[in-house]
Structure 1
């Protein structure tokens, strides 16, 4: 359904400004939900269909995505408002992303980063965005996860995004307001403490149901439970010598869209959903992406993927005429390794990301609360051979690298 305020009279001046056509006339608007139940916990997505007539008389039929904040009365709303996710994303689409696009274009670096914003309306906590489906961008399968070609395109996109953000901070530091230095593990914030400790409790419950995993890792994981928010805060901290970039903040399969050639091969990638973007080490984005979104055989190529990303980032910064400190590859590898705990924290979301069963919830808190519905949903999403296998693989790596030792 269309929001009651989204009328022809509301939309027409917005489209006139975006299309730079003072004679444009909106003829008709109608709508459909853009996501199914349980696919988007953070907001309400609506695809609107708009017929409009240009000043030259040509009639266009376009679709746009309307993205609204979730209602204040849904259970997860308090968490999202505490972390300022809606203002943050509106700032991204209104100020930061257009400036980053401009910087890349000036340097001759082609390709879209994301959808353009037609309008950002803070009164209604709403954005009207380009519909990337019109450019034939689609999501890869979150359950099957990404193979190598999709992974490399995403790393190139992240490198471009991170590079542009480094220049942005140098030239327009005023755009990076306080919300971009807030993250899941920010000290003094409370909402995500309940989320992550609840997710970890569900994870421990799963581990305790797997005799071999419990025997090998149970005690160490139990000890970590009360420490995860503090460890999370530490890995987000950056020193003067650390590479610092604006991170996407939620870089997983469903937040990346791909264009394909006629043979079905992915050609380009763009990012969507910037509610959790924050300024920290780019290693945070990489760990989150590698853990949540890559097939096992691609995860096995981690050392080469880090080289690919590092080289792409360096090349983009050279094109952008960056003159600041840039780490050697060995230094960057150390910065990446020192934040490996992020892969365990990211893994807490993996069971729901790759879940393909019939248990559905539209309540974000079902992921972490020990209510009857929550416990049932948590059991359902962990009950999978793929979850067992990926957990076994990850814990073996973390144990080998000493990450599970307090």
Structure 2
């Protein structure tokens, strides 16, 4: 359904500005939902179909994505408003991403970074964005996850984003307002502590139902339960010697889109969904991406992947003639290692990210609430060999490094 205010009179001046054509005339608009049930918990996505006539008389048929904030009466909306997710994403599309694009072009680093914003409307908490589907950008399979070619391409895109953002911080620090220093684990915020407490309880119920995992890690994980928000905050903390930049903040399979060549190989990649973007170590993006989105055999090549991102980041900064401090590879690996607890926290979302069962939900709270619907959904997403294997491998790594001990 189209919002009642989204009329031809509303859209026409905005499309005229975007297309730089004062004679453009909108002929008609209609709509379809842009995402399936359970694919987007943070907002309402609609694909609109627009016919318009240009000043030269030619008629265009285009599609756009309308992204609206959740209505106030939806329970999870309160969580998202506390963390300024909608303000942040509107700031990203209106101010930050266009400036990053401009900086990249100036440095000769071409290639699309994300969808253009046609308009950002703060009065309606809505953005109208370019639809990437006609440009043949599609999502990879979130259940099968990413192979090495997709992974390296994504790391190169992140390295471009991170490098441009380092330069942005240096040249235009006023663009990164206070909301970009807020994240899931911000110590002055509360709502996500309830979310993560519930996610971790669901994880503990799963562990307690797996005798081998329970025997090996159960006691340690139960002791960790009340500390996870503080350990998460420490992962995001940066000190004077740490590399810090704007992160994507939610880099996983569904928020990345690929273009393919005729042989079916990925040749370019863009990121979408920037409501969680925040300033911290780029290692946070890496841990989240590696944990949620990579096939097992790719995940096993972690040192090679960290180095791939590091080298691309360094090369991009050289294109910018960046003169600020930059870590050695060894220092960068240590910065990545110090944030490894993030992989456990990211893993709490993984069961629903790779879920392929029949238990549908469009309610964010089903991921963590102990309601009948929530418990049924959580049990279903954890009943997967892939999740059991993934958790066993992750916990073995974390335990070997002492990260399941209180510290």
Q: TM-score, normalised by structure 1?
A: 1.00
Distance in 1, matches of 2:262 and 2:328, equals: 40
**1:64 pairs with 2:58:** no
- Show CA shifts across 1:81-126 (max 9, x none): 0000000000000000000000000000011110000000000000
Map residues 81-96 of structure 1 onto 2, 5 A cutoff: 81-96=81-96
Deviations 1:187-211 (A, max 9, x none): 1211000000100000000000000
State the shift of 1:262 in Å.
Answer: 1.1
Structure-2 residue corresponding to 1:31: 31
Give the corresponding residue for 2:328.
328
Return the alpha-carbon distance in structure 2 between the equivalents of residues 170 and 357 of structure 1. 46
Pairwise mapping of residues 225-264 of structure 1 onto structure 2 (< 5 A)?
225-264=225-264
| SS in structure 2 at match of 1:315 | helix
Map of 2:151 onto structure 1: 151
Aligned pair 1:211/2:211, yes or no?
Answer: yes
> What's the offset of the Cα at 1:176?
0.5
C-alpha displacement of 1:402: 1.3
Identify the residue that residue 201 of structure 1 maps to in structure 2.
Answer: 201
Query: d(CA) in 2 for partners of 1:35 and 1:362?
Result: 11
Structure 1: 5+ residue stretches without partners: none
> Which residue of 2 is the match for residue 109 of structure 1?
109
Q: Deviations over 1:33-73 (max 9, x none)?
A: 00011110000000000011110111111000000001111
Partner of 2:345: 345
TM-superposed CA distance for 1:150, in Å, is 0.4
Distance in 2, matches of 1:263 and 1:72, equals 46
SS of equivalent residue, structure 2 residue 186: coil
Aligned position for 2:381 = 381
Partner secondary structure for residue 52 of structure 1: strand
Alpha-carbon distance in structure 1 between the residues aligned to 2:257 and 2:298: 19
Secondary structure of the equivalent of 2:183?
coil
Tell me by how many angstroms 1:134 deviates: 1.2
Structure 1 match to 2:172: 172
Q: Counterpart of 1:269? A: 269
Q: Deviations along 1:133-192, whole A, 9 cap, x unmatched?
A: 010000000000000000001000000000000000111100000000000000121100
1:402 is aligned to 2:389:
no
SS of 1:61's partner is strand
1:286-341 per-position Cα deviation (integer Å, ceiling 9, x unaligned): 00000000000000000000110000000000001111000011100000000000
Distance 2:270 2:307 in 1: 21
Distance of 2:71 and 2:357 partners within structure 1: 27
Cα deviation code 1:346-405 (max 9, x no counterpart): 000000000000001111001001111110100000000000000001111111111111
Structure 1 runs (4+) deviating above 6 angstroms are none
CA distance in 2, matches of 1:117, 1:188: 31
Figure out how many residues of one structure are paired with residues of the other and give that number. 406
Q: How far apart are the structure 2 equivalents of 1:129 and 1:320?
A: 28
* Cα separation, 1, equivalents of 2:161 and 2:188: 29
Q: Could you tell me which residue of structure 1 aligns to residue 9 of structure 2?
A: 9
Q: Distance in 2 between matches of 1:191 and 1:254?
A: 24
Match of 1:306 in 2: 306
- Quote the offset at 1:26 in angstroms: 0.5
Write out per-residue CA displacement over residues 228-277 of structure 1, whole angstroms, 9 at most, x where no aligned residue. 00011111000011000100000000000000011111100000000000
Offset of 1:75 from its aligned partner? 1.3
**Quick check: 396-405 or 60-69, which moved more?**
396-405
Unaligned runs of 5+ in 2: none
Separation of aligned partners in 2, 1:38 and 1:350:
14
Q: Which moved more, 1:343-352 or 1:69-78?
A: 69-78
